[in-house]
Structure 1
Amino acid sequence: MLELNVKNETSRLKAVVLGIANSNGPTPKLEEAYDPKSKEHILAGTYPVESDMVKEMKALNGVFEKYGVDVYRPHLIKDYNQIFARDIAFVIDDLFIKANILPDREQEVEAIQYIIDQIDTSKVITPPEKVHIEGGDVMLWDDHIFVGTYKGSDYKNYITARTNMYGVDFIKELFPNKTVKEFDLVKSKLEPRDNALHLDCCFQPIGSNKGIIFKNGFREEQDYMYLVELFGKENLFHIDREEMYHMYSNVFSIAPDVVITERNFTRLNNWLREHGMTVEEIPYAEISKQEGLLRCSTMPLIRE
């Protein structure tokens, strides 16, 4: 049996689900793309090719091997995008919570069923149908759970609005002893620089008391101020609109002092090193063209 344990974003990683890029399928048609960044690259003819993405995921897997992490991969579905493991489920404490994913992505959950079968069935949670919640919007910080959402009355018009207020309330009910705080995120169907697809596109804790943040990813300034007051402004690395577009906040921690980042994130990588962290730089710029990066393609199962 898998004894799940994830209480924050940075404790020493022991086991993780890592997506796969093999048999990723042809470049989607414009109307098939979910997010504005993918659309931008489809139109520009720069949409990532499978061989490059396989290489990038291999580099990420190599870092996990270096640190002795147990890595689980989904079963292959032919011609199907299975890179973003974070979207389909997530672990809080010892509970495995399935995301109510976009209907045409349900096969992705079936591809990790062999992992779910190793978890105590009482610990596998399927939310009711009206609850929309995805792993990229759920951020753990010990006694706090941060949840990205979209409160606009036009929620249903945005395929980029992934977690609804039913999702927030569901997490509150599931974890009555934690502080669950929701954040109203900026969404755009057209401009990737103004679209926080998930909370991890504009914020993520790193180390024991630090974080990466994009102020304009939040629709309400008070949501941004909440994090500034909680972490302290000097502990937050502020990214700009272009850095948010390149997904600077979507790094992934193996331990409080070890962070995997994209090799082109020079300003961030220097800051992390200045703050005593080991930075494992890998190429991941092709995958980022689908509006997802390192945190999006991983689903931690066990942290120390």
Structure 2
Amino acid sequence: MEAVTDSTEAIPDPGRVMVRSEFAPLRTVAVAQSQLRPPDEVSDSEVSFLGSEARPLLESMLGRDHADVFPDRQRLWESERENLCSVFERYGVEVLRPRMLTDAEKAAGGSNGYANFFVRDPWFTIGDIVVEGSLRLPHRRLEVLPSREILTTRALDGRCSYLALPQPAVPDGAPGDLGAGPFLEGGDVLVYGKHVFVGNSGLASNDLGIRWLEKLLTPLGYTVETVRLAPNFLHLDCALGLIREGLLVACPDALVDGLPAALRDWDRIEISESDGIDLGTNGLPISPEVYLTDPVFRHIGDRIAEHGVTVEYVDFAVTRSFGGAFRCTTQPLRRE
């Protein structure tokens, strides 16, 4: 496969939308807000990807807003996102923020609850194409709405394509059934030039959603490759991260068939299953020279630094307790 090359020269063009790869220099990014009210009830399958410490936390707030149950923790959560924005601004990255949920949007969630906490999944960017996804968990299915103002000004009015998946089928009411989809979530989508990897663990994106993406992208010269995941890993970015050309971090226990063939000759930093579940692969390249992760993963960051990459650290303990980290919290509109 031809290497993805990146220029670090700034390209001032506010109307441009383009994501060349997971590690191309980050120019414009949306950073999530911190709102969550989980459903009144959850099945085991809906929380199987969470760490052992996170599950009791979620169970203690079922049907209630996190800010009401844990006000001090809510302030810490919000400060984590603000600290992340400060790092981006220090590197000259334009930061966009989705708005907060309205009272009507919260009410529309009913017993399913609501979420506005991981902007990576409800929409995503591949090249000059912006896609509204389709989320499997019911409390997240309206999560795209707070980003609509960003999508209107940057995608609808920008020089790019902007489209959405079909809405998912209605579940039949059987225990644990969330419908037939199609489901396609941004956390499962990794971009490497014209090669797009899509994870499938059975918990998020599914075959129907991946087929839809293939139909969209194949005529445009893209290759879409499914990456099978172990059933305790929600998304592909919880199992694999592309740091720069020829360097990746991966959790072998999460990758059912091993690394995709296109990546097998890359230098790799392998991590344990427990580090993978704790989001050890979910750091974020700001550029091929700068990588962002949590200080709890300094042992991983030190290995990345040995390859000449500067590693920045932001404490993301509260964010990680909800099953996502830096990549989950962000959605690029420009990486080139």
How does the TM-score come out when normalised to structure 1? 0.84
**Structure-2 separation of matches of 1:281 and 1:133:** 30
Matched, 1:88 2:132: no
Shift of 1:120: 3.4
Q: Is the 8 A contact 2:238 2:276 kept in 1?
A: yes
Identify the range of structure 1 (11-20 vs 171-180) with the bigger mean alpha-carbon deviation: 171-180
The residue type equivalent to 1:2 in the other structure is G
1:8 alignment partner, SS class: coil
Contact in 2 for aligned 1:203/1:214 (Cα 8 Å): yes
Q: For the residues of structure 1 that align with 2:303 and 2:36, how far apart are their CA atoms?
A: 37
Distance in 2 (CA, whole Å) between partners of 1:42 and 1:35 is 7
Instruction: Tell me, yes or no, if structure 1 residue 31 matches structure 2 residue 60.
Output: no
Aligned to 2:109: none
**Structure 2 counterparts to residues 177-188 of structure 1, below 5 A:** 177-187=221-231
Contact 2:30 2:330 in 1 (8 A): yes
Tell which deviates more after alignment, 121-130 or 24-33: 24-33
Distance in 2 separating the partners of 1:27 and 1:281: 29
Q: Which one is further off, 45-54 or 201-210?
A: 45-54
Q: Rg: which structure is higher?
A: 2
Query: Relative to structure 1, is the Cα distance of residues 247 and 51 closer, same or farther in structure 2, using a 3 angstrom cutoff?
Result: same
Query: Is the 1:92–1:140 contact (alpha carbons within 8 Å) kept by the matching residues of 2?
Result: yes
1:253 corresponds to which residue?
285
Letter in 2 for 1:35: V
* 1:286 positional shift: 1.5
Equivalent residue runs for 1:106-185 within 5 Å: 106-118=141-153, 119-120=155-156, 123-129=161-167, 130-150=181-201, 155=202, 161-176=203-218, 177-185=221-229
Q: Per-residue CA shift, 1:230-251, capped at 9, x if unaligned? A: 3426x01100011112211000
Shift of 1:40: 4.4
Read off the aligned partner of 1:208 and give its amino acid letter. Answer: E
Q: Aligned with 1:125: secondary structure?
A: strand
Please state whether the residue corresponding to 2:321 is helix, strand or coil. Answer: helix
Aligned counterparts of 1:178 and 1:172: Cα–Cα separation in 2: 8
| Cross-structure match for 2:242 | 205
Aligned partner of 1:190 in structure 2 is: none
Is 89-98 or 170-179 further displaced after alignment? 170-179
Partner residue in 1 for 2:316: 284
Task: Name the Cα RMSD after superposition.
Answer: 2.4
How many residue pairs align between the two structures? 281
- One-letter identity of the residue aligned with 2:99: H
Aligned residue number for residue 133 of structure 2: 99
TM-superposed CA distance for 1:131, in Å, is 2.3
1:266 to 284, 298, 308: 298
Q: Which residue of 2 aligns with 1:53?
A: 77
- Secondary structure, aligned partner of 2:144: helix
Aligned residues of 2:51 and 2:277 also touching (Cα < 8 A):
no
Deviation readout 1:136-183 (Å, 9 max, x if unpaired): 000011121100014xxxx5xxxxx11111222222222211221101
Contact 2:242 2:248 in 1 (8 A): yes
For structure 1, which runs of at least 5 residues remain unmatched after alignment?
Answer: 156-160, 188-194
Answer with 131-140 or 47-56: which moved more: 47-56
CA distance in 2, matches of 1:75, 1:32: 30
Does the CA-based 8 Å contact 1:172-1:180 persist in structure 2?
A: yes
User: Could you tell me which residue of structure 2 aligns to residue 62 of structure 1?
Assistant: 86
Unaligned runs of 5+ residues in structure 2 are 1-13, 107-113, 168-180
TM-score relative to the length of structure 2: 0.77
